[in-house]
Structure 1
Amino acid sequence: MSLRSTPTLLQLAMQSLMRDEALAISSLQDLPMELFPPLFNDAFTHKRFNILRKMVQVWPFPCLPLGGLMKMKASYLDILQTVLEGIDALLDQNIHPSSYKLRILDLRALHKDFWTVWAADTMASCNPEAKSKRKPQRRGPKILTKPNSLQVFIDLFLKPRALNTCLSYVFQWVRERKALLQLVCKKLRINTVGIPSIVTVLEVLDLDCVEEVEVCCAWKLSTLAVFAPYLGQMKNLLTFILCRIHVPDSVTPEEKQQLVSQVGSQFLNLQCLQDLSLDSICVLKGEMDQLFRCLVAPLEILSITDCQLSESDLKSLSESPGIRQLKHLNLSGVNLTNLSPEPLCALLERVAPTLKTLDLENCMIMDSQLNVFLPALSQCVQLIMFNYIRNPISMAFLERLLYHTAKLSCLSLEMYSTPWEIYGAQGALHHRRLDELREELSKTMMNLEHTRTVWFSVAPCLPPDNQAI
């Protein structure tokens, strides 16, 4: 006796239909919509090209999530070509048939559940515009769909090597039909310095649809300046992550200022930008005013890490219109030891009403500087996380800091380095002193009015020579 489950009526109907290709094709117009996903999946698996080509033309859903099946691998190029041939037949028609509902071809590796459950239960997951819980709410311009155009969704990770076979084919196909199509890339990652190849891709994309851009390789400032006009066309950009921009020694100060100005001027067009991350950007020092005075969109997240900044840079940042609603500020790795604390104090005062997380890890802030901006920190009434690890702090100032943060009723996580007095001359941890510290802090924490986590790093962070208190 067979242990295999009995086929469902739906499976039996599909098997009967697929035995006769001509019958299957002629019956597509009259098939119930719930048969389309399993039938398409079967035709995809067995490479029944004629059925696939015809199914695309009568697809009953607004979205065909092909990427969830083929994952844009070269072995599926013949499938991709067949589907695009079916779309070509639709595009060639002056009047679309009444059954033609396809508006989106999604080539991203998403919506895999669409092919495994009844389509009527997965329409929300197939909708590329469905908002995830983590996605920030859009403000400003909305993406405009071209009349009678079909949207093709892709994700792009540009590397030094050429686009894979499937993506190359899609780009060539779109170029020849640009008046009828929108090539939509919401997430664009770039890990190549080859600006000509990048520009070739950008000129095919509908830049108004880009929402996230990450440049994760070492660019020259001149390369960024060439990219900037394309960045300025991304009017719906939500997230911009930029890493490791450098300036060759041959560039004069005047040339550097002009290039920075070319980049900064494009920020005026980014009315929807909410998340800006600048990591290891050596060009920032002395040039923050050029960049941030043009940033008018109210950011929610700002991360400036592992950079050298001047006091004037921090002053320009505190005066930028773009930080008026800031919720998350990360300045980790920005060495503030030799800077006046006043600009940081002004910055904290400016963002205090809305700030929720503050990351000052490894800024090498001294106790004397901390003392100046403590009152400003006390004004951050919405703060829920404060990271002060890898800053040399004495026991006396730690107690003073905890006294101020105790007044922040929303604060649930604080992170600090162990006070430097706990260590010997060579940075060796004195366990007896550490036990005494724990006992003293436990008494201090007992007086807090709400539960919170205070975490200490045991890695030594000693003050620079002759600056110890």
Structure 2
Amino acid sequence: MSVWNPLRLRDLAGIGLLKDESSAITALEYLPTELFPPLFMEAFYGSHRETLKAMVQAWPFVRLPLGGLMGGLMQMSHVETLQAMLDGLDVLLAQRVHPRCKLRVLDLRMTGQDFWSMWSGSNVHVSLDSLRAPVPEGSSETGHPFAPLEVFIELCLSDGTLDGFLTYLMSWVEQRIGSIHLCCKKLRIFSVPTENTQKILSMIQLDCIQEVEVICNWHPSTFSMFAALLGQMSNVQRCLMSASEEQEQQVVVQFTSQFLRLQHLRDLHLESSFFLEGCLDQLLRYLTTPLDNFAVTHCLVTGSDLMHLSQCPNISRSKGLNLGGVTLTDFNPELLQVLLEKVAVTLQDLDLNQCGITDTQLESVLPALSLCSQLRSINLCGNLLSVAVMGRMLRRTTRLPSLCQAFYPAPQESYSSQGLPLKERLANIRAELLEILRDLGLPRTIWLNSIPCAPYVYNEYAHLEFIEYTPF
């Protein structure tokens, strides 16, 4: 049986008003503030572009979360609608002041659904005052009547050409660069920068970026160009860099020195960064703030690099430490022991996946590991460990109150001399480990990887089996 949901009187009034766009535009002068969003939605989905153009000029809120209606910048069908609204903004920018308009932020990100949901009737508990209040997301001058209009977008720059929506928007911003601040909180680059990429980066307010993610294989000159831009991203909180191309020493120095300017950095992840081998101390020297999370993964590092890492004061309060894919087999285990002791008070997540750690090394760091009272998860997959050492590991960490995720490799004994998995032997090992958990008498779940160690070949999470003990 179908449920009949009749349109509300307000919706019917909006539909009726939009049948004559000239009348709708005239009525905006007298339209109550609370009726603007529902009428705007009706005009948007009905493609009443002249009405939208006029409504933008009289928008009674600080923010227009347009991306929440458009579904992001990739919707080609909205290019003409965007053009109409930007034409309306042109009139607004030329007038500089409007008797009713409070618009300071045009948000084209996929956010703002709560705003539109509230005005569509699904959430009636949002106060009108909270929607009128300025949003301190961009520059401190946003509330000034002559301040540039802030346009927020999401940017993911890849090898493909720019879509029509973004191409039109960038052209519009470029012609009004003095009146528009183009803002992007999260920047992702998955390509070799083209002329278009560099042009877009030159138009963005770099100090608005809070997260930057770059996966690249750049020529030294390109990397040098980006290093200079990174230094201008002064409000970056999270930075992920994955670069496999070896760089000249001069470029390494230029890149690492930029971190001196990143005084809000909290999360740093460097992946496949071969150029950091023997130079990690340069990067650590330029860190100006304590990091919540630090990751150096699939990188070549030296014993000197690990020593400097264990001595870095801005790593000592980290909650997350990830050395996945960093080969530690030939290193003195004391270096890792000192590092763990350094972060023991705050460490919550430790990833030592595919590090080639041996039994002797793990046993050496167990005392330091047992001091990590806040530890929630540990990943030891991809290491060469025996059943005996894994048992000792379970016993030494059983008193860590927050430890809820532990990932282990299938022990060495579960493989033949040719490296083939022995299913029956692995089943017996599972039973041995479960018995250890029973002896400990505490509820515990561990995850066991069932395939051989093979760095860079497999996803360590794809073949996990859990062993769980729950006392009655």
**TM-score > 0.5, shorter chain as reference:** yes
Q: Which residue of 1 aligns with 2:461?
A: none
Q: Does 1:9 align with 2:6?
A: no
Cα deviation for residue 289 of structure 1 reads: 1.0
Cα deviation for residue 89 of structure 1 reads: 1.6
Looking at structure 2, the residues matched to 440 and 69 of structure 1 have their Cα atoms a distance apart, in angstroms, of 56
Looking at structure 2, the residues matched to 11 and 458 of structure 1 have their Cα atoms a distance apart, in angstroms, of 59
Q: Does 1:187 align with 2:186?
A: yes
Q: Does 1:67 align with 2:67?
A: yes
> Does the 8 A contact of 1:418 with 1:457 survive in 2?
yes
Q: Which residue of 1 aligns with 2:254?
A: 262
Looking at structure 2, the residues matched to 380 and 130 of structure 1 have their Cα atoms a distance apart, in angstroms, of 38
Equivalent residues in 2 for 1:88-237, closer than 5 Å? 88-97=90-99, 99-118=100-119, 143-146=139-142, 147=144, 148-194=147-193, 196-237=195-236
Cα deviation for residue 38 of structure 1 reads: 2.5
TM-score normalized by the length of structure 1: 0.87
SS at structure 1 position matched to 2:286: coil
Cα deviation for residue 183 of structure 1 reads: 0.9
Match of 2:336 among 338, 344, 348: 344
SS at structure 1 position matched to 2:432: helix
Equivalent residues in 2 for 1:29-40, closer than 5 Å? 29-40=29-40
- In the alignment, structure 2 segments of 5+ residues that lack a partner are 455-472
Q: Which residue of 2 aligns with 1:405?
A: 397
Looking at structure 2, the residues matched to 364 and 197 of structure 1 have their Cα atoms a distance apart, in angstroms, of 43
Cα deviation for residue 127 of structure 1 reads: 9.5
Looking at structure 1, the residues matched to 340 and 414 of structure 2 have their Cα atoms a distance apart, in angstroms, of 30
Looking at structure 2, the residues matched to 269 and 380 of structure 1 have their Cα atoms a distance apart, in angstroms, of 31
Looking at structure 2, the residues matched to 232 and 221 of structure 1 have their Cα atoms a distance apart, in angstroms, of 17
- Amino acid paired to 2:90: D
Looking at structure 1, the residues matched to 3 and 318 of structure 2 have their Cα atoms a distance apart, in angstroms, of 61
Task: Sort the Cα spacing of 1:285 and 1:190 in 2 relative to 1 into closer, same or farther, 3 A.
Answer: same
Task: Sort the Cα spacing of 1:438 and 1:125 in 2 relative to 1 into closer, same or farther, 3 A.
Answer: farther
SS at structure 2 position matched to 1:318: helix
Looking at structure 1, the residues matched to 239 and 268 of structure 2 have their Cα atoms a distance apart, in angstroms, of 5
Cα deviation for residue 16 of structure 1 reads: 2.8
> Does the 8 A contact of 1:111 with 1:126 survive in 2?
no
Task: Sort the Cα spacing of 1:416 and 1:127 in 2 relative to 1 into closer, same or farther, 3 A.
Answer: farther
Q: Deviations over 1:178-212 (max 9, x none)?
A: 33221110111112212543332122111111011
User: Quick check: 86-95 or 334-343, which moved more?
Assistant: 86-95
Q: Does 1:395 align with 2:387?
A: yes
Q: Which residue of 2 aligns with 1:368?
A: 360
> Does the 8 A contact of 2:63 with 2:135 survive in 1?
no
Looking at structure 2, the residues matched to 171 and 36 of structure 1 have their Cα atoms a distance apart, in angstroms, of 28
SS at structure 1 position matched to 2:299: coil
Looking at structure 2, the residues matched to 287 and 222 of structure 1 have their Cα atoms a distance apart, in angstroms, of 19
- Amino acid paired to 1:107: L
Cα deviation for residue 449 of structure 1 reads: 5.8
Task: Sort the Cα spacing of 1:241 and 1:126 in 2 relative to 1 into closer, same or farther, 3 A.
Answer: farther
Looking at structure 2, the residues matched to 95 and 128 of structure 1 have their Cα atoms a distance apart, in angstroms, of 17
SS at structure 2 position matched to 1:278: strand
Equivalent residues in 2 for 1:420-431, closer than 5 Å? 420-431=412-423
Looking at structure 2, the residues matched to 354 and 128 of structure 1 have their Cα atoms a distance apart, in angstroms, of 37
- Amino acid paired to 2:38: P
Q: Deviations over 1:145-189 (max 9, x none)?
A: 454232101011112343222222222322333332211101111
> Does the 8 A contact of 2:17 with 2:23 survive in 1?
yes
SS at structure 2 position matched to 1:183: strand
Cα RMSD (Å): 2.7
Q: Which residue of 2 aligns with 1:43?
A: 43
- Amino acid paired to 1:92: A
> Does the 8 A contact of 1:274 with 1:297 survive in 2?
yes
SS at structure 2 position matched to 1:92: helix
SS at structure 1 position matched to 2:399: coil
Cα deviation for residue 269 of structure 1 reads: 1.0
Cα deviation for residue 10 of structure 1 reads: 0.6
Match of 1:83 among 82, 85, 88: 85
Task: Sort the Cα spacing of 1:424 and 1:126 in 2 relative to 1 into closer, same or farther, 3 A.
Answer: farther
Task: Sort the Cα spacing of 1:75 and 1:395 in 2 relative to 1 into closer, same or farther, 3 A.
Answer: closer
Looking at structure 1, the residues matched to 267 and 223 of structure 2 have their Cα atoms a distance apart, in angstroms, of 18
Cα deviation for residue 391 of structure 1 reads: 0.8
- Amino acid paired to 1:307: C
Q: Which residue of 2 aligns with 1:55?
A: 55
- Amino acid paired to 1:43: A
SS at structure 2 position matched to 1:321: coil
Looking at structure 2, the residues matched to 128 and 453 of structure 1 have their Cα atoms a distance apart, in angstroms, of 48
- Amino acid paired to 2:254: Q
> Does the 8 A contact of 1:143 with 1:208 survive in 2?
no
Looking at structure 2, the residues matched to 225 and 375 of structure 1 have their Cα atoms a distance apart, in angstroms, of 43
**Identity over aligned pairs, percent:** 43
Looking at structure 2, the residues matched to 188 and 276 of structure 1 have their Cα atoms a distance apart, in angstroms, of 15
> Does the 8 A contact of 1:387 with 1:415 survive in 2?
yes
Equivalent residues in 2 for 1:195-344, closer than 5 Å? 196-247=195-246, 256-344=248-336
SS at structure 1 position matched to 2:184: strand
- Amino acid paired to 2:181: Q
* Aligned length, in residue pairs: 444
SS at structure 2 position matched to 1:203: helix
Task: Sort the Cα spacing of 1:114 and 1:393 in 2 relative to 1 into closer, same or farther, 3 A.
Answer: same
Cα deviation for residue 21 of structure 1 reads: 2.3
TM-score normalized by the length of structure 2: 0.86
User: Quick check: 119-128 or 315-324, which moved more?
Assistant: 119-128
Looking at structure 2, the residues matched to 127 and 460 of structure 1 have their Cα atoms a distance apart, in angstroms, of 58
- Amino acid paired to 2:85: V
